[in-house]
Amino acid sequence: MKFFVDTADVKEIRELNALGLLDGVTTNPSLILKSGGDIKKVTKEICSIVDGPVSAEVVATEYDQMMREAKILAKIASNVCIKVPLTLDGLRACKSIRSDLNRDVNVTLCFSANQALLAAKAGATFISPFVGRIDDTGSDGMELIAEIKTIYDNYDFTTEILTASVRTVNHVKQAALIGAHVVTAPPATLRALVSHPLTDKGLAAFLADWAKTGQKIG
C-alpha cells in the first residue's frame, strides 16, 4: 500500500519524507488555507520534497475554467497531480487532462460506487472515496472501499483507490485488508501507526535489562 500524507504543512512533509514513509501528498483548498501560503509556492515546495504525486486541486466548477486552472497547476512541477471534483464537468476535465495534458488526475469527493465507476471510465489515475465523512452519516465508509475494489477488479480498471478522509489507524488497516492501493492520512494518523503499548513495554524492559549489564555499544 502507498502512503500519502494529507497536508500542506511543509515541515510535517519534510519530517515524514525523511522517515521514508511517503509515496505522495494530497492537498485541497482547506489545507492550503490552513498552511497560510500561496497555492503555487506551497505546491512547488512540496513537489521539491517528495518524488511521488502531489495532488493540487482546481477550484473552478465548470469545465473551461477547470482546464485553465489545470494547465497552470501542471506547470508548477512534473509531479503535480491535478485534483478535480466528482461532477460531470470534473469527469470531463479528468478525461481531457489525461489525454491532452498527459498528467495524473485525482478525482475527489467520491461517496458512491457508481461515482467511482464513472471516474475510472473517465481515466482517473486515482479515485478518492471519503470514508470518514461517510462514517459521520452513520454508514460504513469501508464498505464503499470494498465495493469499489470489487468493481475495479471485475473490469481490470487501472484507477487506483486512494482511501481519503481517514480518521483512525483502523481505517488504514481496513483499507489495506480490502486491498486499496493508497491511503492518505493526516500526519498524526500516519505517526500513530507505529504505536502499540506492548512495543513500549517491551522496549522499556529491554533498556532496563541493558542498563544492568553496564555495557555500551560504541
pLDDT digits (tens, 9 = 90+) for 164-179: 999 999 999 999 999 9
- CATH no., domain 2-213: 3.20.20.70
Give buried/exposed letters for 31-67 (b at 16+ CB in 10 A, else e): bbeebebebeebbbbbbeebebbbbbbbebeebeebb
Question: Does pLDDT of 183 surpass 90?
Answer: yes
**pTM score, whole prediction:** 0.96
Contact 77, 54 (CB under 8 A): yes
Task: Express as a percent the part of the chain with pLDDT over 70.
Answer: 100
Distances in whole angstroms, Cα of residue 58 to Cα of each of 62, 81, 131, 216? 10, 11, 22, 56
Rounded to the nearest integer, the mean pLDDT of the chain is 97
What pLDDT score does 45 carry? 97
Question: Does pLDDT of 87 surpass 90?
Answer: yes
Which among 117, 128, 176, 125 has a CA at the least distance from the CA of 150? 117
> Residue 103 — pLDDT band, cuts 50, 70, 90?
very high
> Residue 58 — pLDDT band, cuts 50, 70, 90?
very high
DSSP string, 107-137: EEEE-SHHHHHHHHHTT-SEEEEBHHHHHHT
> Residue 218 — pLDDT band, cuts 50, 70, 90?
confident
Could you identify the residue written with the cell 472515496?
Answer: 129
Question: Quick one: average pLDDT of 43-51?
Answer: 97
Quote the CA–CA distance of 40 and 24 in Å, as a whole number. Answer: 17
- Provide the residue ranges of all domains of the chain, joining segments of one domain with +: 2-213
What pLDDT score does 79 carry? 98
- Residue numbers annotated as active site: 83
Task: Express as a percent the part of the chain with pLDDT over 90.
Answer: 99
* Cell numbers found for residue 50: 517528495
Question: Does pLDDT of 35 surpass 90?
Answer: yes
Question: Quick one: average pLDDT of 189-212?
Answer: 97
